[in-house]
A and B are shown apart, each in its own frame.
Chain A
Amino acid sequence: MSKDIFVFVEQRDAKLQSVGYELIGEAASLAQDLNQQVVAVLIGDKVGHHAEELIAYGADKVLVVDDPILGEYMTEPYAKAMTAVIKEKEPEIVLFGATSIGRDLAPRVSARIKTGLTADCTALRIDPETKLLMMTRPAFGGNLMAVIWCKTHRPQMATVRPGVMQPMERDESRKGAIEHVNVAFSESDKTVEILEVVKKTRTAADITQAKCLVSGGRAMGGKEAFGMLRELADLLGGDVSASRAAVDSGWLNKERQVGQTGKTVRPDLYLACGISGAIQHVAGMENSGTIIAINKNDTAPIFGVADLGIVGDLTLILPKLRDAIKKAREKGVNYTAPSSEQYVGMENILYHVQNDIAYLTINRPRQMNALNRKTLQEISSVADKLKNDDSIKVLIVRGAGGRAFVAGADISEMQNMNEAEGREISLMAQEVFVKIKELPQIVIAAINGFTLGGGNELAMACDIRIASSRAKFGQPEVNLGLIPGFTGTQRLSRLVGSGTAKQIIFTTDMLSAEEALRIGLVDAVVPPEGLMRTSRDLALKIMSKSIKAIKLAKKSINEGMPLEFSQGLLVENDCWTKCFAEDGDGYEGMSAFVEKRKADFSKAPKRV
């Protein structure tokens, strides 16, 4: 029967690599769950003396394969040694570092043994019921995490990303066994001939070991600017690292690159300066203790992982920061943080911009995204900011979690309200939903699931509603002794007619997406998996037109609707006239039409 957890311990020039200690540390915690032992497999030329050290780091047993052929790494001799060990000892689990050696050796061995191999894992766990190893790994360039198991074949094998697992504290009092395994090598095992070993000579910087990293991106602008980061790093007792853009520009060496194709780091502090936070970069630093990011763009994705984000210009901030740290080192000054609006990340909503489209996601999936006071306030603050943001043309509103758009207001919060409080919450919600309706942006509701009560009222505040075929609509207030009070009685009757609105409100019957489409409550119904794509495509289509004209059209419809017809025409006439104004898009649009070219509304219109 197979048992024990084996770790391939990597060494280079007979020096142990840190990934070996990390894997022993992880194996020890898995071994506890399985009630088995950790066995380190040490392969090399004159490496036996390291066995004690591996025991001090947590190995219960060390198997040593020592032979001159195992000096510089070659696939075949190492594969032969590893296969011999596995065949003889029949381990339950074998772990390799996902290094350029481990990722060459492990697949070769797995194909020889004919067992499964999971690549580049970032988390390992023993399933309590099946006792199987659950291996978590990123795929699709870090966009997706997959949990993988190997049910019937043994051993269960994985390569594990360096820098992710924690070594144990070194403890010399630990006891363990050391065993030499004999493998008969012959000349024919040298299937390749190493002609030359060229060491990369540059000062072997190892950013994975730094306690603090000051990291720079493209925005640093040049090699010289990294001198500032070096000063900061020295002051903080850390090291300097960079994004790939900075490395590709030749400002820093490749071994200082953080990310998917660079190093994975987890310092106590990661200070990201002018780094946008592309997913490939974040993959390499998101497990850092504290992340501070300085970026002048408040929608930079780096803020999504930052513990402290500073929206500002690094060229102004960094010199002052250096001086401040210097001064603090000298005197020991105390600092208190100024408070300021917390914007990108709020408690109950997520807001981000991608490809110029803004997304507002109601993010309380466990409460079916129910609207409470805090959520309304946060929506309101986003609306306030969007109102003055010309760079955003379309906003998509949606709910997190797959089950609900918004399933209503938070009843528990309103249960004990008195009359005054009841009035106040309704006024507040009405104000927020009016703000949404009056935004200069085009607002699309992407509706995935339950859209009830306040949720339906929020959806109606948007300009266009796209529903998943799974969505369900309703106004259940009268069940609770309430009426729709977040704009619902007024909007619903204007949207679908007072008869239908009354039917919906009086019966509280839920409507399917198809019914909602039929009565005009939503504007399109799409299969669930097509919801975001359709919404995005719609947004892109709108953005490709004259956005000025579209905004004027929105204004004309919104403001004209509640008016008497002839008054509405006056509003229309006003908006139309603005298309012909100096800064209107009419001239460019019509000129392009006449000249048979594509209109370019992005340029400031100029009459010649």
Chain B
Amino acid sequence: MKIIVCIKQVPDTNEVEIDPVTNTLIRTGIPVIINPDDKSGIEAALDLRDKVPGSTVTVVSMGPPQAEMALREALSMGCDDAILISGRQFGGSDTLATSTIISAALKKIGYDLIITGRQAIDGDTAQVGPQIAEHLGIPQVSYVEEITPEDGALIVMRQYEDRYHKIRVKLPCLLTAIQDLAQPRYMTVGGIVDTEQKDIQILDFDALSDFLDPSAIGLKGSPTNVVRSYTKEPKSQGAILKGLTPDEAVDAIMARLHEVHLI
């Protein structure tokens, strides 16, 4: 089974801070990581490789040359190959264009199972996985929490707000992983040393041109555009009372409850 895991290098949004003066995200100095859902995806893929003899795990990332770091980390977790999709023409892509480009690369390299994360913590759209599946014309199961291999198929648990579906899906297919799917393993020292020697294959626009319509990618090929972005206006501040005795505090709360007619 040829397993592909799509990984995105993202800023660690826990560390993102807003500069209230300029009201913009402070981007410099924010650590970059492998998107957490994708890391669970890698782990699930490695686990499947152990269970299904003859399987390989290939990690694929689209991004600037620096995304190589994320791929190296995946290699040192134990993945077999890594592919970087990178090119000037790809910049500014929305999810439709991103998924178009990634699926072109997947057509080129071949696959049985594709795992993406459910959602990237920067763009936060959760759209790229299902869109890749549609471009490739294969079934998708999203919000996957458990995977069990079966001959030529997979049994997966799909999470909803109020239920689970236990689903059989034939290969080839695409799954989107939530963090509960697997606890990622750490890089091993051996792994880190080994990967230094491994080559990362780079696919640029020319390498994919047979599979790509140049008008459907990049900023120009993206139907959606960010018109503007801003950080949230802090809500006007309420009264903050400190140094009250518990009884005074209770009075303050009771007065407010009274105002909103709850008592």
On whether the two chains bind one another, the answer is yes
The interface of chain A, by Cβ under 8 A from chain B, is: 12, 72-73, 75-76, 79, 99-101, 103-104, 106-108, 110-112, 114-120, 134, 137-141, 143-153, 191-200, 204, 212, 236-237, 255, 268-269, 271, 286, 289-292, 294, 298, 303-313, 316-317, 320-321, 324-325, 328-329, 334-338, 340-346, 350, 354, 359, 361, 398-402, 446, 448, 528-533
Q: Is the CB of B130 within 8 A of A104?
A: yes
Known: A111-B96, A529-B22. A119 touches B122 (CB 8 A): no
Q: Is the CB of B243 within 8 A of A340?
A: yes
Contacts of A298 in B (CB 8 A): 240, 242
Closest A residue by C-beta to B247: A320
Please report which residues of chain B, range 100-141, place their CB below 8 angstroms from some CB of chain A when the two chains form the complex.
Answer: 121-131, 133-135, 139-141
Question: Which single member of B14, B131, B155, B243 contacts A111 (CB below 8 Å)?
Answer: B131
Contacts of A153 in B (CB 8 A): 223
20 pairs, CB–CB < 8 Å, chain A vs chain B: A100-B143, A101-B160, A107-B128, A108-B140, A110-B131, A111-B134, A140-B16, A143-B16, A143-B25, A145-B231, A149-B224, A290-B260, A324-B251, A337-B252, A337-B256, A338-B251, A342-B239, A448-B21, A529-B24, A530-B28
Please report which residues of chain B, range 224-263, place their CB below 8 angstroms from some CB of chain A when the two chains form the complex.
Answer: 224-232, 234-244, 246-260, 262-263
Complex alpha-carbon distance, A401 and B244, angstroms? 34
Q: Is the CB of B238 within 8 A of A289?
A: no
Question: Is B161 close to A, CB under 8 A?
Answer: yes
Question: Smallest distance from the beta carbon of A283 to chain B beta carbons, Å?
Answer: 9
Contacts of B262 in A (CB 8 A): 212, 236-237, 268-269
Known: A12-B162, A151-B225, A194-B165. A116 touches B126 (CB 8 A): no
Q: Is the CB of A146 within 8 A of B226?
A: yes
Q: Is the CB of B242 within 8 A of A341?
A: yes
Contacts of B256 in A (CB 8 A): 290, 292, 307-308, 337
Contacts of A290 in B (CB 8 A): 256, 259-260
Question: Is B52 close to A, CB under 8 A?
Answer: no
Contacts of A316 in B (CB 8 A): 246
Complex alpha-carbon distance, A548 and B248, angstroms? 37
Question: Is B95 close to A, CB under 8 A?
Answer: yes
Q: Is the CB of A309 within 8 A of B240?
A: yes
Q: Is the CB of A111 within 8 A of B122?
A: no
Q: Is the CB of B223 within 8 A of A150?
A: yes
Contacts of B129 in A (CB 8 A): 107
Closest B residue by C-beta to A343: B240
Contacts of B160 in A (CB 8 A): 73, 100-101
Question: Is B69 close to A, CB under 8 A?
Answer: no
Contacts of B139 in A (CB 8 A): 75-76, 191-192
Question: Which single member of B22, B155, B166, B254 contacts A198 (CB below 8 Å)?
Answer: B166
Question: Is B163 close to A, CB under 8 A?
Answer: yes
Question: Smallest distance from the beta carbon of B213 to chain A beta carbons, Å?
Answer: 11
Contacts of A108 in B (CB 8 A): 130-131, 133-134, 140
Q: Is the CB of A103 within 8 A of B126?
A: yes
Question: Is B167 close to A, CB under 8 A?
Answer: yes
- The 5 A-B pairs at the shortest CB distance, nearest first, are namely A345-B237, A116-B223, A311-B242, A116-B224, A141-B13
Contacts of B65 in A (CB 8 A): none
Complex alpha-carbon distance, A73 and B96, angstroms? 24
Q: Is the CB of B240 within 8 A of A345?
A: yes
Q: Is the CB of B20 within 8 A of A350?
A: yes
Q: Is the CB of A117 within 8 A of B258?
A: no
Closest A residue by C-beta to B223: A116
Complex alpha-carbon distance, A107 and B99, angstroms? 10
Q: Is the CB of A354 within 8 A of B238?
A: no
Closest A residue by C-beta to B153: A193
Q: Is the CB of B127 within 8 A of A532?
A: no
Contacts of B18 in A (CB 8 A): 143
Q: Is the CB of A114 within 8 A of B96?
A: yes
Q: Is the CB of B238 within 8 A of A148?
A: no
In the complex, how many residues of chain B place their beta carbon closer than 8 angstroms to a beta carbon of chain A?
Answer: 91
Question: Is B26 close to A, CB under 8 A?
Answer: yes
Contacts of B252 in A (CB 8 A): 308, 310, 337-338
Question: Is B210 close to A, CB under 8 A?
Answer: no
Question: Which single member of A139, A152, A197, A271 contacts B124 (CB below 8 Å)?
Answer: A139
15 extra A-B contacts, CB within 8 A, seeds A118-B224, A337-B255, A530-B28: A73-B160, A139-B122, A139-B124, A140-B13, A148-B226, A191-B169, A269-B260, A304-B237, A312-B244, A321-B250, A338-B241, A361-B20, A398-B20, A528-B22, A531-B21
Please report which residues of chain B, range 1-57, place their CB below 8 angstroms from some CB of chain A when the two chains form the complex.
Answer: 11, 13-14, 16-26, 28-29
Complex alpha-carbon distance, A283 and B168, angstroms? 36
Contacts of A198 in B (CB 8 A): 163-166
Q: Is the CB of B28 within 8 A of A533?
A: yes
Q: Is the CB of A328 within 8 A of B263?
A: yes
Contacts of A193 in B (CB 8 A): 167-169
Known: A143-B18, A446-B21. A311 touches B163 (CB 8 A): no
Bitwise, B167-187 to A at CB < 8 A (1) or not (0) is 111000100000000000000
Q: Is the CB of B260 within 8 A of A268?
A: yes
Question: Which single member of A197, A199, A255, A335 contacts B251 (CB below 8 Å)?
Answer: A335
Known: A104-B143, A141-B14. A147 touches B258 (CB 8 A): no
Closest A residue by C-beta to B168: A193
Please report which residues of chain B, range 194-214, place their CB below 8 angstroms from some CB of chain A when the two chains form the complex.
Answer: none
Question: Which single member of B99, B122, B155, B258 contacts A334 (CB below 8 Å)?
Answer: B258
Question: Which single member of A144, A151, A196 contacts B165 (CB below 8 Å)?
Answer: A196
Complex alpha-carbon distance, A203 and B228, angstroms? 43
Contacts of A306 in B (CB 8 A): 238, 240
Known: A198-B163, A308-B238, A316-B246. A119 touches B125 (CB 8 A): yes
Q: Is the CB of B168 within 8 A of A195?
A: yes
Question: Which single member of A75, A115, A147 contacts B227 (CB below 8 Å)?
Answer: A147
Question: Is B94 close to A, CB under 8 A?
Answer: yes
